[in-house]
C-alpha cells in the first residue's frame, strides 16, 4: 500500500503525488492523505520523527531540527494562563532545540528537497525570499548538494548567513531593486527549462512539514489545544496547523475539537487581516515600516479551496493586527520571562496572545499552543560563527539582460546539471 496519496480538495481526484496543482484546473490546494491514520513517532533525527505523516519516501539524514514543545511557567503566569505550551522553533541547546537556521522554514525546506531528490529531479530549485526561507533552503541544499538559485533584494542579503563552510551548491543572486523585482525575476527564471519553482503553499511537503509543529505540541501535551497562536505572512503555517489537527482528530487519541486558529499580522502591512475583516490594513509603501518584513506577502492564499479562509472558518478563527510597539513590548516580555531571544516575527504571535487575553478570547484554564516560529539566533551566535553566504552575482532590476545573465551564471556554477 502507498504511504499516502494526493487529492484535489474540489474534484477529489487522485493526482501524481508530486503535483502542485489540480490537473483539471480547479482553484484548490491538493492535500496529502496518509494511509496510517495514527501518528507514530519514529527514532529518526530532526523533523523525521514525524516521518509517517510527511509526504516523502526517504529522509535527509543530516541537518534537520524539529520543534520542541514545553509548558510555559513564567510567560503563562505573567498572562494569567494555566495551560500555555510553547512550540519553539530555533536554536536552544538547553532545551534540545536544534533548528540551526533559527526559524521553522527548515520544516519546509527539508521535506521539499527530499521530494526533489527522490524524484531524481536534477533541476535547479529557484527561491525568492527576503530572509528566512532563503536561509532554510540554503541550509538544506548545502547538506544535500542539490543546486539552489536564491534571488534576493540586495538590501536583504545581510540576512543570509550560513554555518556551512562549503556552499558550492548555492547560487546567490542579489537584485538591485525592491522585493517585487526579486520575486518577478525569480518567477521568470523558475518557468525556464532546467529550473523548478518550490511551489509555496501549494506544495504538500511545505505544508505537512510545517504541520509537524502541531504534531509535536500535541504529542508532548497529550491533547489537541483549544487555541493555536502564530504570526503569519502567507498564512501557510496556519493552514498547516489546521490540516495537522484534522489528522489528529481522525487519529482518535487526542480529543475531538479542532484548535481555534488565532493568527497575527503586523501593521501597517496586514493583507490577511484586511481580507478576513474586510478592512484596509495595507499601506502603499509595504513592506516598509514593518517590525519584521518576513511577515509580508502580497498574494497570500486566502480564498483558494483549502486556504486561509477555509482554515479560519473551519476553526472559528481570529486574526489580529499588531503594531510595532505591541510587538516590541511582547518580544521584551517573552525574552525576559522565558530566557531565550526570539525572532521579531514571533513577537507578533506573542503580541496576538496578549491581545487575546485582554479581549477574553481565551480562558485562563484552556490549553493554548503558542508557535514561536523563530528564535535563538543570539543564542546560536554564542556557540557558532555565522558566515555570510557569498554573493555569486548582482544584477539590476532595470537590466533587460538580467535573466540571461543569471542563467549564464547558474550554468557556470552548476554546469552539467543544466
Q: How far is the CB of 143 from ligand PLP (least distance, A)?
A: 19
CB 348 within 8 A of CB 322: yes
> Which candidate, 112, 103, 107, places its Cα nearest to that of 130?
103
CA angle 309/224/37 to nearest 5° reads 85
Q: Answer positive or negative: Cα dihedral of 67, 68, 72, 75.
A: negative
Judged by beta carbon, residue 112 or residue 132, the one nearer ligand PLP is 132
Minimum Å gap between C-beta 327 and ligand PLP is 12
- Nearest distance in Å: CB 405, ligand PLP: 29
Under the criterion CB under 6 A, does residue 134 sit at the interface with ligand PLP?
A: no
By beta-carbon proximity to ligand PLP, the closer residue of 355 and 392 is 355
Radius of gyration, alpha carbons of the chain: 20
Contact pick of 235, 259, 271, 317 for ligand PLP (by CB under 6 A): 235
294 touching ligand PLP, by CB under 6 A: yes
Residues 75-114, one symbol each (x = binds ligand PLP by CB under 6 A, - = not), give: ----------------------------x-x---------
72 binds ligand PLP (CB under 6 A): no
Q: Is residue 234 at the binding interface for ligand PLP, with CB under 6 A as the rule?
A: yes
User: Which positions from 340 through 379 interact with ligand PLP, judged by CB under 6 A?
Assistant: 343, 345-346, 373-374
The C-alpha atoms of residue 194 and residue 187 are separated, in whole angstroms, by: 13
The pairing of strands 68-71 and 84-92 is antiparallel
Q: Is 17 in the site for ligand PLP (CB under 6 A)?
A: no
Nearer to ligand PLP, 112 or 392 (CB): 112
What the block records as the C-alpha cell of 190 is 523558475
Q: Is 233 in the site for ligand PLP (CB under 6 A)?
A: yes
Minimum CB distance to ligand PLP, residue 9 (Å) = 19
Member of 56, 169, 236, 315 binding ligand PLP (CB under 6 A): 236
Q: Which stretch, 60-68, 74-82, 175-183, 234-242, contacts ligand PLP (CB under 6 A)?
A: 234-242
**Rounded Cα distance, 35 and 18, in Å:** 17
Q: Smallest gap, in angstroms, from Cβ of residue 396 to ligand PLP?
A: 27
Query: Which position's Cβ is nearest ligand PLP?
Result: 237
Options 145-153, 156-164, 338-346, 401-409: segment touching ligand PLP (CB under 6 A): 338-346
Span of 17-25, 151-159, 225-233, 282-290 interacting with ligand PLP by CB under 6 A = 225-233
Task: Determine if 138 is a binding residue for ligand PLP (CB under 6 A).
Answer: no
Among 213, 231, 347, 410, binds ligand PLP (CB under 6 A): 231
232 near ligand PLP, rule: CB under 6 A = yes
Q: Does 212 bind ligand PLP (CB under 6 A)?
A: no
Cα separation, 238 vs 226, whole angstroms: 14
**Distance between CA atoms of 85 and 189, rounded to whole angstroms?**
42
Shortest distance (Å) from residue 372 CB to ligand PLP: 8
Q: How far is the CB of 83 from ligand PLP (least distance, A)?
A: 23
Least Cβ distance, residue 234 to ligand PLP (angstroms): 4
Sheet-wide strand order for 195-197: 195-197, 124-128, 148-153, 170-176, 393-396
The least distance separating ligand PLP from the CB of residue 342, rounded to whole angstroms, comes to 9
The interface region with ligand PLP, picked from 137-145, 154-162, 230-238, 276-284 by CB under 6 A, is 230-238
Determine the size of the site formed for ligand PLP (CB under 6 A): 18
* Closer Cβ to ligand PLP, 104 or 195, answer by number: 104
Give the footprint of ligand PLP on this chain (CB under 6 A). 103, 105, 132, 231-238, 294-295, 343, 345-346, 373-374
Amino acid at each position: 500500500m502507498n504511504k499516502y496519496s494526493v487529492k484535489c480538495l474540489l474534484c477529489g481526484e487522485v493526482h501524481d503525488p508530486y503535483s502542485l496543482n489540480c490537473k483539471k484546473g480547479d482553484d484548490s490546494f491538493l492535500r496529502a492523505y496518509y494511509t496510517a491514520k495514527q501518528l507514530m513517532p519514529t527514532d529518526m533525527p530532526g523533523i523525521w520523527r514525524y516521518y509517517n505523516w510527511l509526504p516523502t519516501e526517504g529522509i535527509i539524514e543530516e541537518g534537520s531540527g524539529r520543534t520542541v514543545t514545553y509548558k510555559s511557567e513564567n510567560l503563562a503566569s505573567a498572562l494569567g494562563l494555566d495551560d500555555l505550551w510553547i512550540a519553539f522553533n530555533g536554536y536552544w541547546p538547553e532545551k534540545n532545540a536544534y533548528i540551526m537556521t533559527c526559524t521553522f522554514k527548515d520544516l519546509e525546506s527539508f521535506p521539499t528537497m527530499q521530494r526533489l531528490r527522490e524524484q531524481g529531479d536534477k533541476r535547479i530549485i529557484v527561491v525568492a525570499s527576503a530572509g528566512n526561507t532563503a536561509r532554510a533552503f540554503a541550509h538544506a541544499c548545502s547538506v544535500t548538494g542539490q543546486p539552489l538559485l536564491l534571488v534576493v533584494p540586495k538590501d536583504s542579503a545581510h540576512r543570509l548567513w550560513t554555518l556551512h563552510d562549503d556552499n558550492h551548491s548555492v547560487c546567490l543572486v542579489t537584485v538591485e531593486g525592491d522585493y517585487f523585482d526579486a520575486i518577478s525575476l525569480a518567477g521568470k527564471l523558475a518557468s525556464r527549462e532546467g529550473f523548478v519553482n518550490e511551489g509555496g503553499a501549494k506544495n504538500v511537503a511545505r505544508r505537512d512539514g510545517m504541520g509537524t509543529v502541531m504534531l509535536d505540541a500535541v504529542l508532548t501535551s497529550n491533547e489537541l489545544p483549544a487555541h493555536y497562536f502564530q504570526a503569519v505572512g502567507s498564512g501557510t503555517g496556519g493552514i498547516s496547523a489546521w490540516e495537522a489537527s484534522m489528522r489528529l482528530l481522525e487519529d482518535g487519541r487526542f480529543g475531538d475539537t479542532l484548535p481555534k486558529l488565532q493568527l497575527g499580522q503586523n501593521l501597517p502591512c496586514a493583507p490577511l487581516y484586511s481580507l478576513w475583516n474586510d478592512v484596509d490594513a495595507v499601506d502603499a509603501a509595504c513592506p516598509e515600516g514593518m517590525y519584521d518584513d518576513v511577515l509580508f506577502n502580497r498574494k497570500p492564499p486566502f480564498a483558494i479551496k483549502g486556504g486561509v479562509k477555509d482554515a479560519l472558518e473551519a476553526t472559528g478563527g481570529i486574526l489580529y493586527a499588531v503594531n510595532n510597539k505591541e510587538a516590541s513590548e511582547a518580544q521584551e516580555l517573552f525574552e525576559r520571562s522565558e530566557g531565550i531571544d526570539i525572532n521579531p516575527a514571533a513577537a507578533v504571535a506573542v503580541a496576538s496572545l496578549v491581545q487575546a487575553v485582554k479581549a477574553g478570547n481565551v480562558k485562563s484554564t484552556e490549553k493554548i499552543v503558542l508557535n514561536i516560529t523563530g528564535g535563538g539566533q543570539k543564542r546560536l551566535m554564542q556557540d557558532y560563527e555565522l558566515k555570510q553566504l557569498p554573493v555569486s552575482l548582482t544584477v539590476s532590476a532595470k537590466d533587460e539582460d538580467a535573466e540571461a545573465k543569471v542563467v549564464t551564471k547558474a550554468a557556470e556554477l552548476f554546469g552539467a546539471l543544466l
